[in-house]
Copies of this chain bind each other. A is one copy, B any other.
Amino acid sequence: MIGALGSIAATVVAGALALGRGLIEGTGMVTEGKPFAGLDLVDVRRLRFGGCDVREGSLVKSVSEVFTTISGVGRNGLTELEPDLAALQDRLCRGTVRNCGEAIAGLVPEAALESRSLVDEVESIRRELRHFAESEGTTRVVVVNLASTEPPLERDPCHDRPEDLEAALVGNRASAVRASTLYAYAAVQEGCPYINFTPSDGALIPAIIRLAAEMGVPVMGNDGKTGETLVKSALAPMFGCRNLRVLSWEGFNILGNLDGRVLNHPDNRAAKIRTKDRVLAGILGYAPHSRVHIDYVPSLEDQKTAWDFIHFEGFMGARMSLQFIWQGYDSLLAAPLVLDLVRLADLAGRRGESGLMPHLASFFKAPLGVSEHRLHEQHQMLLDYVERAKASSA
C-alpha cells in the first residue's frame, strides 16, 4: 500500500484483521457477496500487509481516528487489533514525494524531500517490494496506490512508449513524472499487479499500461468509486430510460480528512474533479451543465457529505428536480473495495491476465479502457467475468 498511514489503508488493515478474527462480517465487500461464492479468491485471513508512507504517523492512531467519528462501529475490537497494527507499523518504509505538488510536499519534513536520481528511487521501491515478498514468504504481491491525490501530470511524449519512459528515467527528467509514476513502473517491473485507487493520472500512463501488457502484469485504475459518483452512475441511466433530459447536475462535496485537506489545494482538486466529470456525459450521451465542488470542512473528519441537485426536463417542457444527500464514511466505503481489488487483481495474476482489467470498471470513477459508465452494466461485466473464471477453473 502506497500511503500506508492514511485513513483508507488503516481501515483496510484493521478491517482485514477484524474479519479474520470473526469480529465483523463482510458487509461492504463486493467479493463477499453471493455471486463470488465458489470463486478461487485468496482468503482475506491469508492477506499480509505492508507499504510505505511519506508522513510520520501511527497506524493505531489513524485507525482510532476513523473509529471515533463513526456511528455503529463496535469499538471494543480495536484494542484487540492494536498489537498487530503496531507490528505492521514497524515494517513500513518511507516513500517518495517526487514532484507531488505543494500540498503533499507540505506534509513531509524538509529533510525527507528527495535528492536521489529517478533510477535510484525506482530501484529502492523495487528492493522494498522484493524484501516484503521474501519476508512474508510469498511471490504474489499486489501494489495499491492509496496516497493523496497528486496534481494532474502534463502529458509528455515520453508517456507513450515504455522505451521512451525508461529513457526519461535514465535521463533523470523529474518533471515528466510524479511519485505515482515511479511506484507504478517499479511494481510492473517486479511483476506485481497494480491498482491505482486514486485519481492521480501520473500512475497508469500509456507507457506503463503497455509495459504491463508486455510483461504479463494486470493493472487497473483510476480513482475508487465510493460515494457521490457511485450514486451518480446508478441514477443517471434512469433519466435515459425515461427519455428525460438532464439540464443541470450540480454536485457539492464536503469532507474533513487528510484527503479533503490535500484536495483543498486547487492543483490536486483539479485531478479529482476531472475523473468525476467524465461520468455524466458518458452515460447520458450529452453533457448537461455540471459542476463538482469539493470543499474541506475539518469538523466532518472522515464523514463525507454530498448534495447533488439534478434539474431535468420532462414532458411538455416541465422542469423538475431530484436531489440527493449522501452521508458516508470515506474510509469505510473505500477500504472494502481495496480488499476486493487486491483479491481480484491477485486472481487475475494467477489466471495469467495482463494489461488493463476492464471487468473491474465498476470499482472506478474513470475506468481505464472502458467507456461504459453505467453502474449496472459495469457490474454485469464483473459478474460475467466471475462466471467465466468459475467455468475455466472447474
Binding site for B on A (CB under 8 A): 11, 14-15, 18, 24, 26-30, 32-33, 68-75, 230-231, 234-235, 237-238, 240-245, 247-248, 250, 252, 254, 289, 291, 293, 295, 297-300, 303, 305, 307, 309, 311, 313-329, 332-333, 335-336, 362, 374-377, 379
Whether the Cβ atoms of B238 and A375 lie closer than 8 Å is yes
Contact of A318 among B72, B307, B309 (CB under 8 A): B72
- Within 8 Å CB of A303, what residues of B? 71
Whether the Cβ atoms of B323 and A329 lie closer than 8 Å is no
Whether the Cβ atoms of B319 and A309 lie closer than 8 Å is no
11 of the cross-chain contacts (CB-CB < 8 Å) are A27-B315, A29-B243, A70-B318, A72-B319, A250-B295, A289-B297, A297-B311, A305-B309, A318-B332, A322-B324, A322-B326
Contact of A323 among B238, B318, B324, B362 (CB under 8 A): B324
Whether the Cβ atoms of B309 and A332 lie closer than 8 Å is no
Whether the Cβ atoms of A15 and B307 lie closer than 8 Å is no
Query: In the bound complex, what is the Cα–Cα distance between A234 and B283 (angstroms)?
Result: 14
Whether the Cβ atoms of B243 and A26 lie closer than 8 Å is yes
Closest to A285 in B: B34
From residue A129, how far is it (CB to closest CB) to chain B in Å? 27
Whether the Cβ atoms of B24 and A299 lie closer than 8 Å is no
A30-B242, A243-B26 known; A319-B299 Cβ under 8 A: yes
Whether the Cβ atoms of B27 and A313 lie closer than 8 Å is yes
> Of A26, A237, A318, A321, which is in contact with the most chain B CB atoms at under 10 Å from its CB?
A318
User: Given known contacts A33-B243, A318-B329, what 10 new A-B pairs fall within 8 Å (CB)?
Assistant: A24-B316, A29-B315, A30-B241, A68-B74, A70-B316, A71-B319, A73-B317, A315-B336, A322-B326, A376-B377
A30-B242, A242-B30 known; A309-B311 Cβ under 8 A: no
Query: In the bound complex, what is the Cα–Cα distance between A289 and B282 (angstroms)?
Result: 35
Whether the Cβ atoms of B313 and A72 lie closer than 8 Å is yes
Query: In the bound complex, what is the Cα–Cα distance between A172 and B354 (angstroms)?
Result: 73
Query: In the bound complex, what is the Cα–Cα distance between A333 and B28 (angstroms)?
Result: 31
- Within 8 Å CB of A234, what residues of B? 234-235, 237-238, 241
Query: In the bound complex, what is the Cα–Cα distance between A380 and B238 (angstroms)?
Result: 12
Whether the Cβ atoms of B327 and A324 lie closer than 8 Å is no
From residue A261, how far is it (CB to closest CB) to chain B in Å? 13
Query: In the bound complex, what is the Cα–Cα distance between A210 and B335 (angstroms)?
Result: 52
Closest to A246 in B: B299
From residue A91, how far is it (CB to closest CB) to chain B in Å? 23
Whether the Cβ atoms of A71 and B74 lie closer than 8 Å is no
Closest to A313 in B: B27
